Structure 1
Amino acid sequence: MTWKVVEELRNILEIFVVSFKLGCTSFGGPTAHLGYFQNEYVQNRQWLTDKEYSNLVALSQFLPGPASSQVGMGIGLLRGGLLGSIASFIGFTLPSVLLLMVFAYFYAHTEMEMEWIHGLKLVAVAIVAQAIWDMSKKLIPSLRHFLITLLALSVLLFWMNPFAQMVVIIVAALVGMKFLKESTANKESAGIILPISKTTATLLLLLFVILLIGLPVASSLFQFEWLTIIEKFYISGALVFGGGHVVFPLLETQFVQSGLISPSDFITGYGVTQAVPGPLFTFASYIGMLIGGIPGAIVATIAIFLPAFLLIVGVLPFWMTISRVARLKGMMAGVNAAVVGILAAAFIHPIVTQSIQGGMDILIAIGLLVLLIRWKIQPYLLVIVGIGVGVIFY
């Protein structure tokens, strides 16, 4: 085994370990996950810059699928190629998959006290607030940038539609191309070399389309239970716009209305999925466990995340090329400013609206934010503090 291979394996292992730690501590939903990612990958490890990270976030808003998981896959790709992307996905997803599989097996025989979860919601408030503040200092350098951010925030607060984020980013890109040309002369992202060719990326995008069309056709022609399950999860993962929460009604249509699981089992799993760290798409692991045991959970997890993987890896090389073209720097500056507004809108609703229920919650959230900013406490320690707060006060 050559030294180069050893270094590559060590790099892949590091990606897995870091993402696994995030998978164990990232509570609070997709927007909170982006805050955790920004803290770990950008601030602490400096694996990519704020602008590169913001570009990834913007791309994830364009694409269907779980936004935070796609950002993690993209970071893994930039850091370690295709294997790095897979390692990042497995590490971030594995903790919640295992927790939901265990719960799916034992939930009927176990009574769980859920009050402590409220402390984790307040942790999410602090994490996302810090992420928005850090990103805004670097991505909103002028009044024009701020106006784009404010417009994005306002639109998303008053127009709650799954396609609203995509519309906001497209408009911000056009406005930035027109009005932010002079403010984006730096070439910070020019040195990025993606460890994947555009030919490979094109093949992955082609595979995405083939599966999207072919699985429903094959499922209707061949009455094979496992093929039907794969088709239902793949289609659900491929058609979700607007964040992880949107996957729940799609899964309800696919599995409850078809009689594969009961409404009671579905609702129970929905509640528990909110309580575990990691991506909301792992709700599929719970459903798969109920339907087909451990093999069902594994198949369900792979099937629902596969579209996200094919899309982010397939589109990213083209996206990063566009972001390096000088005349399109203004477009990316507009998109970056809009991303801050998008995160701020999601911070207000649903994170704050579902987490802050009174004066005590406000004081605790501020205290957690002080720990994060003033004392530089690590997010996983903040999670432990949040659990303690939830046990004591709720």
Structure 2
Amino acid sequence: MSIYSPAVPSTRDRYAIAVLLVFLKLGISSFGGPITHIGYFRREFVERRRWLDERTFSDLVGMCQFLPGPASSQVGFSIGLLKAGWRGGLAAWLGFTLPSVLLMLAFAAAAPDLGGRAGDGAVHGLKLVAVAVVAQAVWDMARKLCPDRRRAGIALLAGLATPYAQVLVIAVGALLGLAFCAVIAATSHEPQPEPLAQWRGSRKVSAVALALYLGLLAGLPVLGAAAGQGWRLFDAFYQSGALVFGGGHVVLPLLQQQTVAPGWVSPAAFLAGYGAAQAVPGPLFTFAAYLGWVSHAGPGHGSGAAIAVIGIFLPGLLLVVAALPWWQAMRERPRMAAALAGVNAAVVGLLAFALYSPVWTGAVRSPSDFAIAACGFVALVKWKAPPLAVVLFCTLAALRRTCCLSSCGEVKGLS
């Protein structure tokens, strides 16, 4: 039988299957944030399997950190593209994302049954996890992205303006970066990586992907207003995925504005799901699966989760396809670097405001809550504790406090 018979998988098919299996393993075992995920990818694909050389991998990471969207998922999708074409890209995304999605859906399905002392204490502990994790994100990003007065000022203005229009804040951050950060970009001596030699995608495909990204960004609000709840839900998550710079925790304020503000998800359910997302492996953007499941705006639990997941990941993947053939030329332009510096500083302000509302205001109710969250923050920042350990600590501490308070109340009632 010929090796080209439909009964025998092609070389590209076998590569796609291999990509799927490797990323499934990573999706099950990759705890931590985007930077940790990228470390797993480097060890797996540069050192162990040698699918990429160091320069190509570095260039992929630089590009995905520049683009809006979930950086680690975009890097994984890019690796799949280079290894096995479109099938490989989709296999990489599916393998890395599916385990986390299933775990978040399991939590969403079980959440209504988490009643009583134990359930209340565990859910409150997850809210305190969110305080510690978001505080760490603000701390780390502020040190990295706002090291001077100009960018710190942009972050401060963004934080003050956040309650009014977050998308507008990001756009203004880019303009302020062009106006005030051009000198910073021009004097940067960061080494430029080599071009992506292995990418075979055409610039025509790149243009189609960019047109689709922009067309959905502009057209979905109109379609959502006319076509019903499912499209409105898809638009909400597409807007969040399309406009978030920095990925990971930075998507929190956008998702809060899109789901909690219109009343689709309660603030308590939002924070509980966000805390649970810290305990699962894989990309944090799978928090969307939980929100889609519990949202009142979706067509149903499973359908809402699927719409939310596809909506939040699709823009980032389209941008990868659009940017790959052009990335090297884009990042060498000083004006682009200046605009990006302003955007990154504005993102810090957005996240700092989200740390206060809804994260802090929805979780910290007493001095003991503050102590638990502070211990989690110190464990993350100073002791470099894994996020899963912080989840366990905060949850158990909040559960113990809830049970103690309940016991004290029962004793007083009997006396």
The interval holding the TM-score normalised by the smaller chain is 0.5 to 0.7
Find the residue that maps to 1:357 and give its secondary structure.
helix
Alignment of 1:260-271 (within 5 A): 260-271=264-275
Runs of 5+ in structure 1 lacking a partner?
126-149, 369-381
Which of the pair has more CA radius of gyration?
2
Residue number among 295, 307, 315 corresponding to 2:315 in the alignment: 307
* 1:43 match: 47
Asked whether 1:282 is paired with 2:303, we answer no
> Could you report, residue by residue, the CA deviation over 1:127-173 in whole angstroms, capped at 9, with x for unpaired residues?
xxxxxxxxxxxxxxxxxxxxxxx987945996794979996998787
How far, CA to CA, are the matches of 1:5 and 1:269 in structure 2?
Answer: 41
1:66-114 superposed Cα distances (whole Å, 9 cap, x missing partner): 1111111111111111211111111111011000011100122245769
- Give the structure 1 partner of residue 18 of structure 2: 14
Determine helix, strand or coil for the equivalent of 2:324. helix
Moved more, 196-205 or 24-33: 24-33
Runs (5+) with no aligned partner, structure 2 = 137-142, 159-169, 356-373, 398-415
Q: 1:158 to 1:34 in 2, by over 3 A?
A: farther
- Residues 1:357 and 2:378 aligned together: yes
Aligned counterpart for 2:202 among listed residues 197, 206, 214: 197
1:373 is matched with none
Contact 1:273–1:283, Cα closer than 8 Å, also in 2: yes
Q: 2:258 aligns with which of 254, 260, 264?
A: 254
The change in CA–CA distance for 1:172 and 1:215 in structure 2 (over 3 A counts) is same
Q: How far did residue 266 of structure 1 move? A: 1.1
Matching residue within 33, 39, 57 for 1:29 = 33
| Residue 54 (1) aligns with residue 62 (2) | no
1:1-394 to 2 correspondences below 5 Å: 2=4, 5-110=9-114, 154=147, 161=155, 174-175=186-187, 189=194, 192-222=197-227, 224-291=228-295, 292-319=300-327, 357=378, 362=383
Q: Following TM superposition, by how much is the alpha carbon of 1:221 offset from its aligned partner in structure 2, in angstroms?
A: 3.1
Counterpart CA distance in 1 for 2:145 and 2:312 is 29
CA-atom RMSD in angstroms: 4.3
- Change beyond 3 A, Cα 1:151–1:63: closer
Q: Deviations over 1:168-223 (max 9, x none)?
A: 998787446xx68xx88xxx95682313211111101100010000001122233x
- Looking at structure 2, the residues matched to 289 and 195 of structure 1 have their Cα atoms a distance apart, in angstroms, of 38
Alpha carbons 1:77, 1:195 under 8 Å: kept: no
- 1:377 alignment partner in structure 2: none
CA distance in 2, matches of 1:241, 1:15: 27
Q: Distance in 1 between matches of 2:320 and 2:106?
A: 30
- Secondary structure in 1 aligned to 2:50? coil
Could you tell me how far 1:31 is from its partner in structure 2? 1.9
Amino-acid identity (%):
37
Partner amino acid for 2:378? Answer: Q
Give me the whole-angstrom Cα distance separating, in 1, the residues matched to 2:144 and 2:387.
33
Matches of 1:170 and 1:80, distance apart in 2? 39
